Amino acid sequence: MFDLHEECGIFGVFGHPEASNLAYLGLYAIQHRGQESAGIVSMSDKKLYNYKNMGLVADVFNKDVLKNLPGEAAIGHVRYSTTGLNEMKNIQPFVVDYSMGSIAVAHNGNLINSNIIRDELEAHGAIFQSTMDTEVIIHLISHSKQRHLKEKIVEALKYIKGAYSLLFLSNKKMIAVRDPSGLRPLVLGKLNDAWVVSSESCALDLIEAELVREVEPGEIIIIDENGFQSYKPFEKVKETFCIFEYIYFARPDSIMQNKDVYEVRKQLGRQLATEQPVEADYVIPVPDSGIPAAIGYSQEIGIPFELGIIRNHYVGRTFIEPRQSIRGFGVKIKLNSLKKALQGKRIVLVDDSIVRSTTSKKIIRMMRNAGAKEVHMRISSPPTKHPCFYGIDTPSKDELIASSHSIDEIGKKISADSLGYLSIKGLRSAVDRVSSEKTDCYCDACFSGKYPIGCPKKQRKEQLELFKQISMKK
């Protein structure tokens, strides 16, 4: 379970007659956060209705399905998981019946102490329906002896460690929660009289809702017929927002922590040009993830930006090559080179990150085949040396090329004429340049190895102590 890494997006709306249709649109906008399954739960006349399935949002939902999700409130979830545990039973939102009625939950993030809690709950007779860490939260809520839902949630979350942005829907309320470190994003919006909560602000733009503010780290927002209430029941801890959202994961048209993601990416490119300059004829991005940083690099260094690679946008994650006899197209299925732009040219190739190094190796080979004279690879983040335990899908440490190879060795492996990464200091200062509001409030553990809230194995002893306290309360 510890290596169950998740990439997810959540979206919710309360107080709108078209709630499930808006949730559908919202999920559509954050589809990049998870492409394997999608689900929506709506609430009407104090009853919950839900539909979820494997596939993209557009494949899972249609007019008839949405008609069967009535009511003025709805929450939704998109998910991508890599561990083969992508079965129906793991699709969110989860809906469970408990002493106070029904409740649904949608989670973006990853809990680092969930199997310890799970073992403990199972030892006390709990029966789990899924293999997801999120279900642990629901069990803790239903085990709580507190009288009100808010208190039950607060009590449950006091036992939880990890990254979580959560949306709950009960038969009366929608509740949004962000973990005290604020690791994963969550924003609050308004559409006329309706409240909207989303992983990313680009979903608010789509439904023409106004971005009100971030859901703050450690904040619980309860929305019901009587309006909106905010609570901060958790002990304050250092804020550590995921810096990788800025580098790669979020959509560039989103605003996170009051910073425009596109602007941040351009600043990363500018900083990269300052730290890792090179003489060349063109700056070329790896599409689409490298585009904003390549623009920034080109603007800072004064070398023209060119599109040397074109991406086919219709290749999904599950693409299967048709027949063995015509196999072996590799990266060309997804990307093709513009030969005229590359022939005889010295190229700076810009991407946001190198994970295993397979992509950059193939692209560099493709550029050389297209006639490029030199290919200098520049990466708008520091070397990815450590796995993420907080909700971004990354392979294990031994598969991360930078955990076992020096930059020179990686450069040789991908056959680049030179390879340069952004420094951790440069990353932070580029992010800070976009708005001076907050500094020193980021997680950069996948680069630095400094996990702000610990990583799974180290938590066990401490958690068993917590359980003694739970058992004593019962």
Question: Residue 196 binds which entry of ligand SF4, ligand AMP, none, with Cβ cut-offs from 5 to 8 Å by kind?
Answer: none
User: β-pairing, 335-337 with 37-44?
Assistant: unpaired
Binding to ligand SF4, residues 244-263 (CB under 6 A): 244
80 lies in the binding site for ligand SF4 (CB under 6 A): no
Q: Are 316 and 310 in contact (CB under 8 A)?
A: no
Q: How far is CA 232 from CA 105, 184, 185, 217, in A?
A: 20, 17, 17, 9
Q: What is the phi/psi pair of residue 363, to 5°?
A: -65, -40
Binding to ligand AMP, residues 219-258 (CB under 6 A): 248
176 lies in the binding site for ligand SF4 (CB under 6 A): no
357 lies in the binding site for ligand AMP (CB under 6 A): yes
Q: Is 194 helix (H, G, I), strand (E, B) or coil?
A: strand
Q: How far is the CB of 356 from ligand AMP (least distance, A)?
A: 3
358 lies in the binding site for ligand AMP (CB under 6 A): yes
Binding to ligand AMP, residues 374-413 (CB under 6 A): 392-394
DSSP assignment of 146-163 equals -SSHHHHHHHHHHT--EE
Binding to ligand SF4, residues 345-374 (CB under 6 A): none
User: Which window, 14-22, 23-31, 113-121, 237-245, contacts ligand SF4 (CB under 6 A)?
Assistant: 237-245
Question: Residue 81 binds which entry of ligand SF4, ligand AMP, none, with Cβ cut-offs from 5 to 8 Å by kind?
Answer: none
> Please, what is the angle between helix 460-473 and helix 114-123, to 10°?
40
Among 353, 380, 459, 463, the residue binding ligand AMP under the rule CB under 6 A is 353
Distance, CA of 91 to CA of 290 (rounded, Å)? 31
Q: Are 78 and 38 in contact (CB under 8 A)?
A: yes
Q: How far is the CB of 446 from ligand SF4 (least distance, A)?
A: 3
- Kindly tell me which of 195 and 447 has the beta carbon lying closer to ligand AMP: 447
The number of residues that bind ligand AMP (CB under 6 A) is 16
- Kindly tell me which of 262 and 390 has the beta carbon lying closer to ligand SF4: 390
The residues that are catalytic are 8
- Cis peptide bond N-terminal to 383, omega within 30: no
Interface characters, 23-62, with ligand SF4 (x: CB under 6 A): ----------------------------------------
Q: Which amino acid is at 206?
A: L
A 10 A CB-CB count for 285 gives 26
Q: How far is the CB of 184 from ligand SF4 (least distance, A)?
A: 8
Among 183, 186, 264, 434, the residue binding ligand SF4 under the rule CB under 6 A is 183
A 10 A CB-CB count for 115 gives 18
Among 111, 372, 388, 453, the residue binding ligand SF4 under the rule CB under 6 A is 388
- Kindly tell me which of 164 and 282 has the beta carbon lying closer to ligand SF4: 164
> Please, what is the angle between helix 134-143 and helix 114-123, to 10°?
40
How far does Cα 53 stand from its chain's mean position? 20
Interface characters, 419-438, with ligand SF4 (x: CB under 6 A): --------------------
- Say how many residues make up the chain: 474
Question: Residue 75 binds which entry of ligand AMP, ligand SF4, none, with Cβ cut-offs from 5 to 8 Å by kind?
Answer: none
User: β-pairing, 210-214 with 374-379?
Assistant: unpaired
354 lies in the binding site for ligand AMP (CB under 6 A): yes
- Kindly tell me which of 118 and 334 has the beta carbon lying closer to ligand AMP: 334
* First-residue to last-residue Cα distance in the chain: 27
Question: Residue 445 binds which entry of ligand AMP, ligand SF4, none, with Cβ cut-offs from 5 to 8 Å by kind?
Answer: ligand SF4
445 lies in the binding site for ligand SF4 (CB under 6 A): yes
The closest of 388, 286, 260 to 347, measured between CA atoms, is 286
Q: What is the phi/psi pair of residue 391, to 5°?
A: 110, 5
- Kindly tell me which of 287 and 426 has the beta carbon lying closer to ligand AMP: 287
Distance, CA of 169 to CA of 30 (rounded, Å)? 20
CB < 8 Å & 24+ apart, contacts of 119-124: 120/467, 120/470, 124/471, 124/474
User: Which window, 157-165, 314-322, 356-364, 460-468, contacts ligand AMP (CB under 6 A)?
Assistant: 356-364
- Cis peptide bond N-terminal to 288, omega within 30: yes
Residues at the site binding ligand AMP, with contacts judged by CB under 6 A: 248, 286, 289, 351-360, 392-394
Per CB under 6 A, residues contacting ligand SF4 are: 183, 242-244, 388, 390, 392, 443-446
